[in-house]
Structure 1
Amino acid sequence: MTDDVQLSIGLPNFGTWPGGDWRGFLDVARAAEDAGIDRIVLVDHVVMGPHTDKYVWGRFPTPPEAEWPEPLTLLSAIAAVTSRVRLATGILIAPLRGAALLAKTAATLDQISGGRLDLGVAVGWQREEYDAAGLDWDRRGQLLTDTIAACKALWTQTPAAFKSETVNFTDTYLMPKPVQPGGVPLWIGGTLNKRNLARIVESGDGWIPIMGLSTADMGRDVATIRQALADAGRDPAALRVQGPVPMVKGEDGKFDLARTLEGAPEVIAAGATALQLPIQAFCAGPADAPAFFADARRHLDAVLGR
């Protein structure tokens, strides 16, 4: 059903796009809501090491000294000036926060926003962040698995108890709980390997495919996840998927929004429930954002016949 598909816009909470005024991000978020955008997505790095050349998905978008505000803090400010648009991370490096602190922070933000938070999580790619946090880089996968499962326990149990290799607690109270039933939705990011599939089945509500995955491969992986959910007794139709729309350039060599969104039906057919676009590919800065949001909403509705 295309009526259920959300238009999801990635906002660059890093580098120079905001023009040095992070308070201006609130105006951008308000403009997104006014234009009928369904979700806004921020990304995460806690600290940066010098070796951005180790980023394997192309050229890293900033130098290591670039500004990069913490996404949950910025989303809290955005929550205060909006009322409808969903607030998402895509992704948050969950193990860097620790389970109890992350559960508390996310639950508070869900309360403040009236139940609008989607928490996209993954392990990240940079060892230096784990070193700075005093965490074992080689155990990052286990840390992610345990962190998100522990968050689920804290959000849904009163008192909560959880036991794993890296997180353990009993008779523990976390209040307030998130507004959303079952806790904040967890969207697991990354390649659909065996461990990520297990995380989705055990604790996840959605999946964020790894950057660069083709639409056809995304569709194959969505089918795999749905089958695994069904095998585990969970509803496969409830799976949420953040699907990037393949970018298309026009004759001038610039990314063409209308042509790009013509590919939306194929991404939806592959299983996407939230169509993802990066705003910085189409407008140079915050001043251009209101027009971009309006055009994106209009073009997508036209393509989908809405």
Structure 2
Amino acid sequence: MRLSLSIPPNLVEDVQHWRFVLDFARICDEAGVDRIVAPDHVVFGEQLEAYANPAIGGIANGSQPTGPDGNYFEPMSLLAALCGVTENVRLGTNILLAALRRPMVLAKSAATIDVLSGGRLDLGVGVGWQREEYETAGLDFAGRGRLLDHTLEVCRQLWTETRASYESAELSFDGIHSMPKPLQDGGVPILCGGRANKNVARRIARFGAGWITWDVGAEDMASNVTRMRELVVVAGGADRPFPVHVGLFLDVDDAGRPDPARTFACLPTLADAGVTDVTLYRVRPPLVAAEAADFIGALVTEFRERAPREAAGRPSAVRSG
């Protein structure tokens, strides 16, 4: 089981602290964190109650963790910076609204980061929940699923074909060259986010190196993983286990102090359900490097002590071809 840390919210709340994100990445690299992931919101509208609407991808009774003026780094730009100050930790998005980017530009930026990082990039992608982000980009919110598929189709062609050709209702090209290619075989691994439904399963079967779960509790994880594996096979994916990512919020004790022991108590249950990767949110390290190193080191130690000890292999694609 692998541990990812999401970019801490306290690093982006005040401009005077923003450069500490580079120190945070170095500390994670040295502490043995497996992956750093960056969230994605390009813009915000003011109808944030949409986050609580499951019909459009939100979570019932959930709430967007910031207001419309919350600070979010553009994740690809951020990961490009982080790859220059790290050596071992993987770098990812969780999740990237990939359809908001022009596909060929996203393919190029992802390949660039993968090469500069020595093959350490993972792209976690999803459709998102906010209409305003699509409308501001001049895109159809209702068609966001197909827009994401189209984006991934183009990326895969440009990553894997020396002389790429593509034809769809959205775009056609022939004899196109895009270099450099990603260092990783088959291109940058794509982790598909969403609930256990046929659309996400189809995306995993076609493009995915794994599944980023959404709105699933530990008690329901086993049934959801089983359901998703069945749906992936129906969609044409390989009939074998694949990486499953779940997010956990860092708990606090009665005194308001971080409580990693309570946070990670569910790891055996998650592992039994087939979860391979845990992403930790609401991590707020001290903004002093030495103190942050102790804080993150303690998180990693607690995680390793409670997580299954079997070595986890690198995520493998589940697509059938």
Deviation at 1:170, TM superposition (A): 2.1
Q: In 2 relative to 1, CA 305–120 (structure 1 residues): closer, same or farther, beyond 3 Å? A: closer
1:130 aligns with 2:134: yes
After superposition, residues 206-221 of structure 1 pair within 5 angstroms as: 206-210=210-214, 212-221=215-224
After superposition, residues 19-98 of structure 1 pair within 5 angstroms as: 20-56=16-52, 57=59, 58-98=62-102
CA deviations over 1:157-176 (Å, ceiling 9, x no partner): 12112223324322221111
Structure 2 equivalent of residue 271 of structure 1: 274
Equivalent residue of 2:142, what SS? helix
Deviation at 1:222, TM superposition (A): 2.1
Distance in 2 separating the partners of 1:233 and 1:91:
22
Distance in 2 separating the partners of 1:233 and 1:65:
41
Kept in 1: contact 2:4–2:279 (CA 8 A): yes
CA deviations over 1:31-63 (Å, ceiling 9, x no partner): 011111110111001111122232214222222
Deviation at 1:218, TM superposition (A): 2.8
Equivalent residue of 1:263, what SS? helix
Structure 2 equivalent of residue 223 of structure 1: 226
**RMSD of aligned C-alpha atoms?**
2.2
Deviation at 1:145, TM superposition (A): 1.2
Q: Tell me, which stretches of 5 or more residues in structure 2 are unaligned?
A: 53-58, 310-321
Structure 1 window deviating more from structure 2 (258-267 vs 109-118): it is 258-267
Could you tell me which of 114, 118, 126 is aligned with 2:122?
A: 118
Distance in 2 separating the partners of 1:283 and 1:14:
8
Equivalent residue of 1:45, what SS? coil
Q: What one-letter code is carried by the residue in structure 2 that aligns with 1:101?
A: V
Equivalent residue of 2:95, what SS? strand
Kept in 1: contact 2:205–2:233 (CA 8 A): no
Structure 1 equivalent of residue 175 of structure 2: 171
Distance in 2 separating the partners of 1:171 and 1:121:
27
Question: How many residues matched?
Answer: 299
Q: What one-letter code is carried by the residue in structure 2 that aligns with 1:74?
A: L
Deviation at 1:205, TM superposition (A): 0.9
Q: What one-letter code is carried by the residue in structure 2 that aligns with 1:121?
A: V
Q: Tell me, which stretches of 5 or more residues in structure 1 are unaligned?
A: none
**TM-score (normalised: structure 2):** 0.85
Structure 2 equivalent of residue 260 of structure 1: 263
Deviation at 1:84, TM superposition (A): 0.3
Structure 2 equivalent of residue 143 of structure 1: 147
Deviation at 1:228, TM superposition (A): 4.4
